[in-house]
Amino acid sequence: MKLTKHVDQLDNHIQAAKLITDHTGRIRDASPEFLQYFSLRKDKVLGSNVRNLFKGTCAHDRNRIFHAVITGISCLLQVKEVAHGLEYQVLLRENEIHNRELQSMLQAMEMKTSNKKKTSRYGFGEILGESRSIRQVKDLAAKIATSNSTVLLTGESGTGKELFAQAIHELSTRKNHPFIAINCVAIPAELFESEIFGYEAGAFSGAKREGKPGKIELAQHGTLFLDEISELTYQSQGKLLRVLQEREVERLGGTGSKNVDIRVIAATNKDLKSLVKEGKFRQDLFYRLYVFDLQIPALRQRKDDILLLARAFIEEYNRKMGKDIEKMDKDLEEWMLRYDWPGNVRELKSYIERGMNIAEGRTLHLDSLSFPSFTDTEEEEGRQPAPLASLEEEVRTAEIRAIRKALKEADGDRSLAANLLKIHVASLYRKISKYNLK
């Protein structure tokens, strides 16, 4: 039977199977038909992130048909923009079409998509997290996205500042225009003008005959993202300030200015106020940037999100590597929740990737990741020690660390390990069982 005939036979019950989310991906409502369709309870669904419900691909682009797995059921959905969020409507379930027809259609859709120009843009739905701190930042970012005001993103390295910049752009009225990212660290001071402002033909030795537009011109009607803006030289800061004030740019070697219509989003992992006091950052530029200050929380400040992020990364690398890792062992989860994560989300993702490369079976173990010790983390220059836990938790952490170290030095010999720890071997066995160590 033809696919179109199957679709024509879908009744109103199916068409009413809908899910509503806000722009951050949090589920606001679910129709009775949707809940019945997938055997879900409304109180368990509302408030959670749509990524937790949709396994596999999860679309956040408007007016798109995509494939997902919900409660083990493969289906096609359409997403479209509604007031204050997105609406997901079920179009087809796997038991309503022959597998071969579904696969053929998905392959055709994938081929068509691959022929289009790909972008690396992210929406708020791709910024994972259910902790209060990350939800507050996402909600505020979604509110200011629709304006054209300058945004300053502050936070430690690896917290996802560029993801927020792209998500703000995607939710703004400029979403159909360019998003141009500039890593200010990577541009030498002597090349700043030619890269940012562009140059005319013959502006300098080695210049292209036809000249070259700068990053600012390329971002026309779109968003210019200035990453690590604190690294610009004082002179470069002054040149950038003029563009922000006058909204015009003059190419190197040019004789006239061009009006530019851009939104600026800047990011830094340093305290700009302190740099202003030290005379290392221009005060006038700081106030030009300091319209909306979004502070992205460090991963250690959103502990509730660590396991959620880890599971999402495991799913991602399962798809990329053809693996079938289903879970993490308890030792690994405990370590992840206690570790300070100086590299934040980027560091967590790197550790998961490393573990996935060497993991065997369907469980990811602590030994696969080889986490550094807390002591090493706390002794890093400029780092603050992790917040003090309860006495019971501190003792537990210390005992686990000592037992692991002793077993490693004893090459797994528990009698020798007990001797190194100066405890009875029976005590060692009890602690190994208590902490579920392997």
**CA distances (Å), origin 179, targets 157, 168, 191, 248, 294:** 21, 10, 21, 18, 19
Query: DSSP letters along 286-339, please?
Result: HHHHTTEEEEPPPGGG-GGGHHHHHHHHHHHHHHHHT----EE-HHHHHHHHHS
> Residue 298: pLDDT band by 50, 70, 90 thresholds?
very high
Q: Is the pLDDT of residue 383 over 70?
A: no
Say how far apart CA 339 and CA 306 lie, in whole Å.
10
Tell me the whole-structure pTM to 2 decimals.
0.62
Q: Is the pLDDT of residue 36 over 80?
A: yes
Q: What is the identity of the amino acid at 248? A: E
Report which DSSP code applies to 131.
Answer: S
Say how far apart CA 98 and CA 367 lie, in whole Å.
43
**Residue in 288, 289, 305 with CA at minimum distance from that of residue 297:** 305
CA 223-227-228 angle, to 5 degrees, is 150
The answer to which of 65-69, 201-205, 378-382, 392-396 has the lowest mean pLDDT is: 378-382
**CA distances (Å), origin 126, targets 60, 114, 148, 322, 374:** 8, 20, 22, 22, 30
28 vs 104, higher pLDDT: 28
Q: What is the identity of the amino acid at 340? A: D
> Residue 191: pLDDT band by 50, 70, 90 thresholds?
confident
Identify the structural domains of the chain with CATH numbers, from first to last: 3-114 (3.30.450.20), 126-295 (3.40.50.300), 302-434 (1.10.8.60)
Entry field: residues in the chain: 438
pLDDT of residue 109: 53
Say how far apart CA 113 and CA 106 lie, in whole Å.
10
The mean per-residue pLDDT over the stretch 189-211 comes to: 76
Q: List, in order, residues 6 or more apart from 32 with CB less than 8 Å away.
A: none
- The DSSP H or E segment spanning 133 is helix 132-145
Q: Is the pLDDT of residue 368 over 50?
A: yes
Are the C-beta atoms of residues 262 and 216 closer than 8 Å to each other? yes
Q: Is the pLDDT of residue 152 over 90?
A: yes
**CA distances (Å), origin 330, targets 175, 310, 341:** 43, 13, 18
> Residue 190: pLDDT band by 50, 70, 90 thresholds?
confident
Are the C-beta atoms of residues 136 and 88 closer than 8 Å to each other? no
391-409 vs 425-434: helix crossing angle, rounded to 10: 120
Query: DSSP letters along 328-389, please?
Result: E-HHHHHHHHHS--TTHHHHHHHHHHHHHHH--TTEE-HHHH-PPPHHHHHTSTTPPPPPP-
385 vs 59, higher pLDDT: 59
Number of H helices, E strands in the chain: 21, 17
Say how far apart CA 226 and CA 213 lie, in whole Å.
17
Bridge partners of 65? 78
The mean per-residue pLDDT over the stretch 96-106 comes to: 60
Q: List, in order, residues 6 or more apart from 84 with CB less than 8 Å away.
A: 22, 23
pLDDT of residue 409: 81
pLDDT tens column, 245-263: 888 888 887 777 888 899 9
Token couple for 371: 């986490």
Q: Is the pLDDT of residue 10 over 50?
A: no
Report the b/e string of 90-109 with b at 16+ CB within 10 A. Answer: bbbbeeebeeeebeebeeee
**Residue in 7, 11, 53, 55 with CA at minimum distance from that of residue 33:** 11
**CA distances (Å), origin 54, targets 60, 124, 269:** 12, 15, 33
Report which DSSP code applies to 49.
Answer: B
326 vs 165, higher pLDDT: 165
pLDDT of residue 394: 74
Q: Is the pLDDT of residue 266 over 90?
A: yes
- The DSSP H or E segment spanning 29 is strand 27-30
pLDDT of residue 116: 40
The answer to which of 8-22, 201-215, 301-315, 379-393 has the lowest mean pLDDT is: 379-393
Mean of all residue pLDDT scores within the chain: 80
Say how far apart CA 178 and CA 176 lie, in whole Å.
7
Bridge partners of 225? 181, 265
